[in-house]
Amino acid sequence: MTEKVKLTREQADAIDTMARATKGMLVVDLLRAIQEGYDVEPEYKVGDWIVRLNGTTFLNDKAVVRVDKVSDIHLFYDHDIGIDKIRIRHATPEEIKVEQERRVWAKIGREVGEFRKGDVRITKGTVSGFVRTNCEKNAKDEYENGELKGFYPAESFISFEEVESNA
C-alpha cells in the first residue's frame, strides 16, 4: 500500500475547496488541466453578438448575428436556427459595429455607404450641420472619412409641390 501525501491544514482546505468548485469534473481532467493548462469555455447569453469560427456566414447569410436563445450545447438566432456553441465565438466590437451599420443601411434597401442623387447629407462640425445634395461620390468620401452626422434618403423626401398641384 502506498503512503498518503502529507498536507498542511491550509493545503487540505484548498483541495476541499477545489473539489467542491469542480462541480462533477473528473479528477483526471482536473489534474490534466493543472498540468497541461486549460481554456475557459465562453459563456453566452441572449442578446450576445456571435460569429462563426470558420469565418463563413450563418444560414441567414449574415456574418454576425444576435443570440435569441441559449441551451446547454446550442445557441439560437433568427428565432429558431441553432448552432453548436463549439462552432462560434463572441463578435468583436468592430464586427458588431459593422453589422449594426449594415442593418441600418439594409432598412432603407441600400448597401453600406450607398448614396443616391437627391440624398441630403448633414456634415459634422457646425451646430446645425451643412446640407448638401447630389454628387454621390463626394457623399461616399465624406461618409468613409467620418465627416457626416447623418443623411436623409431621397426616398423619404416629401414634396409639397406635388401636394399643391393635386389640390
Predicted pLDDT of residue 42: 87
Predicted pLDDT of residue 5: 87
Which among 10, 113, 112, 102 has a CA at the least distance from the CA of 60?
A: 102
Q: Residue 155: what residue type?
A: E
Predicted pLDDT of residue 4: 87
Domain boundaries, the chain: 8-37, 44-112, 114-154
Q: Which three cell numbers stand for residue 149?
A: 452626422
Cβ atoms of 7 and 15 closer than 8 Å = yes
The one-digit pLDDT tens for each residue of the chain (167 residues) are: 688 888 899 988 888 888 788 777 888 888 888 899 988 888 999 999 999 999 898 888 889 999 999 998 899 998 888 899 889 999 999 999 999 999 999 999 999 999 888 888 888 876 455 555 567 778 888 888 988 888 888 888 777 776 555 55
